[in-house]
Every structure is written in C-alpha cells, then in structure tokens.
C-alpha cells in the first residue's frame, strides 16, 4: 500500500555529513545534560511512600493531585489502581519526615476534601528496592541491545549491525537527554517507552537495509550511494503510513491520557521522531561509510545477476 510514489530518487546521502554532524552535536549535548543534571528519578527508583486509598464513588484524580499539592509535596504520582474508586499515591521520601507521618498528613487532607475516602494500605519503598529496579532496567536495556546486534549480524552483516545499534543508542541517549535537560520525571513507564523505542527504531532500519539488499541484487550498474538513496526513497510512503498512524495513537495518549501516561507518551513521541531521522541519516550513512557492498549481502552463485532495467538483459549470443 502506497499513498504516493516518488519517481526520482532523493539524494539523502548527499547531505549525510551535515545531518550526522547535527546528530553528533545533539548526542553530545544529551550526554552533557545527563552527566551535569542527571535524571529526575521517580519514587520507584529513589524510594518513598506508597498509599492506596479508596473512595465511595469514582475518584477525581485531578482533585486528589491538587489536594496533595497544597501540602507542599512535589513529584507526587496519582493514578487509578484496579477500579475507578481505588487510587494509588506515590510520595517521594522527605528528610525529617517518616513514612507514617507523610501518609497521615496526606490522609488528613484527603478526608477534609472527601469524608468517604478510606485507607487501604500504606508501605515504604526503600532506596535498596530503587537500586534494584535501576539495575534490572539497565540489564534489560543491555539485553535488548545485544539481541538487536545478534539479529542484524545474522540476518544481514556485521556492518549493518554496527550501524543500526549506533543509530538506536543515539535515539535512547537523546530521549534521556531531553528528560535530563527539562528534569522530567523518569519512571518505570518511561523506561518501558525507551525499550519500546529501541525495537521500533530498529524495525525502520531493517526495512531500509532489506531494500538495500534487494537493490544490490537488482541494480548492478548503481553505485552504493545510489542504491541507498533509492532504498530510502522507495520506502518513504511506507514510513509515513506506519509512523504516522503510530504517532497519532501516541499523540492521543499524550493529549488525553492524563498525568499518568504523559511522560510515557512524551518519551515515545521523541523516540518515534528521532527513530525516523536516525534510520535514514544515521544508520544508512554509517553503513555506507563502513563500506557496505554487494558482496556483503549476496553470495556468488556463478550465474551473473541481471539488471531488469538493462535493455540487453536476457539476450543470447
């Protein structure tokens, strides 16, 4: 399915150096902000108090957030838990205030605004649990990276694996850089979004690499740059359809999903946009600079492949 078909190849690789220079500067800026400002970690990673409360009727989450905010507590997460009447509240640890004191203070404020609210449970999440979550998250990220590299190395060739993983890590670091610069809260849903972006971004790279391999087989008279430009141009319609439809869904979560899904959708939005960019201008360009050639992907069969555009193709002497 194609919305349109471009008849003339767009010379993407002509400006590859310029676009990759921009990517490098953006990447270095993201790394700088990660080290200088760091990530604003949520309660799951830093430790704090978890409260589960229940209302007699469906809870107004915005009213609950406003009530807690009036107590001077920041970075509080409020979301439904199970049913619309059950609410889970995550409170960051506060110096000089115990977990019991925090929960009593919040519960008193909630009862003042709605007498039907009842406490279901409260518990303290220690920093040790947060360290374990952070470690497990890094392990998951490492496993995804290794798995992608092995998959691409087996399906294509090591040059493509290196190019794709550099592009994917470029996307991940830039997402983290945005969260570090703006000090957006980095939570478990955001980590899940980062892992999803890794898989989503590599999918676009695989589509382009697969078309490059097909073009090497079909067009023997084209050089590598022309092959890559043709592969990217011929997949533009598919890219617009798939990424556009996905972004519409993510945008709906960003605009209407509320505070619970806000940063999750925001991370996906950044990842999708930079994933398209990196697949075209980073992954393809790096593969070109690594010296990909027809022999990397096509084994010699002893029979010369024919160019379907060659007027003499199939002629006998």
User: Rounded to an integer, what distance in angstroms lies between the CA atom of residue 237 and that of residue 212?
Assistant: 16
**pLDDT per residue over 206-216, tens digit each?**
889 889 888 98
Other Cβ atoms within 10 Å of 9 Cβ, number: 16
Residue 46 has pLDDT above 80, yes or no: no
Pairwise pLDDT comparison (99 vs 66), residue with the higher score:
66
Domains and CATH numbers, the chain: 12-39+129-297 (1.20.1640.10), 48-125 (3.30.70.3400)
pTM over 0.85: no
Q: Name the percent of the chain lying above pLDDT 90.
A: 24
- Tokens encoding 62: 């915005």
The arithmetic mean of pLDDT across residues 202-207, rounded, is 85
> With 70 as the cut, is the pLDDT of residue 22 above it?
yes
Lowest-pLDDT range of 76-85, 242-251, 290-299: 290-299
* Residue 297: predicted pLDDT: 61
pLDDT band at 35 (very low <50, low <70, confident <90, very high): very high
Higher pLDDT residue, 206 or 265? 265
| Average confidence (pLDDT) over 3-14 | 82
């Amino acid at each position: 399915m194609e919305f349109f078909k471009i008849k003339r190849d767009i010379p993407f690789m002509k400006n590859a150096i310029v676009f990759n220079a921009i990517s490098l500067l953006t990447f270095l800026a993201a790394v700088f902000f990660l080290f200088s400002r760091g990530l604003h970690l949520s309660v799951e990673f830093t430790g704090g108090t978890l409260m589960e409360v229940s209302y007699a009727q469906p809870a107004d989450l915005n009213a609950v957030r406003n009530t807690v905010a009036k107590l001077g507590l920041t970075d509080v997460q409020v979301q439904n838990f199970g049913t619309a009447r059950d609410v889970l509240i995550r409170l960051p640890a506060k110096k000089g205030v115990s977990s019991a004191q925090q929960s009593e203070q919040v519960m008193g404020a909630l009862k003042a605004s709605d007498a039907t609210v009842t406490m279901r449970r409260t518990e303290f999440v220690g920093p040790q649990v947060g360290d374990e979550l952070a470690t497990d998250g890094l392990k998951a990220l490492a496993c995804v990276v290794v798995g992608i590299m092995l998959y691409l190395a087996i399906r294509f060739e090591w040059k493509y694996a290196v190019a794709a993983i550099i592009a994917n890590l470029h996307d991940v670091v830039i997402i983290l850089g945005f969260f570090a610069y703006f000090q957006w809260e980095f939570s478990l849903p955001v980590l899940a979004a980062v892992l999803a972006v890794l898989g989503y971004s590599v999918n676009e790279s695989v589509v382009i690499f697969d078309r490059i391999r097909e073009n090497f087989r079909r067009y023997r008279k084209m050089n590598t740059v022309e092959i890559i430009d043709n592969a990217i141009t011929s997949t533009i319609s598919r890219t617009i359809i798939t990424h556009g439809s996905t972004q519409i869904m993510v945008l709906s979560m960003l605009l209407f999903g509320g505070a619970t899904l806000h940063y999750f959708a925001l991370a996906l939005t950044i990842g999708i946009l930079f994933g398209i960019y990196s697949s075209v201008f980073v992954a393809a360009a790096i593969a070109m600079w690594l010296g990909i050639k027809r022999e990397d992907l096509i084994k010699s069969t002893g029979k010369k492949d024919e160019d379907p555009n060659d007027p003499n193709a199939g002629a006998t002497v």
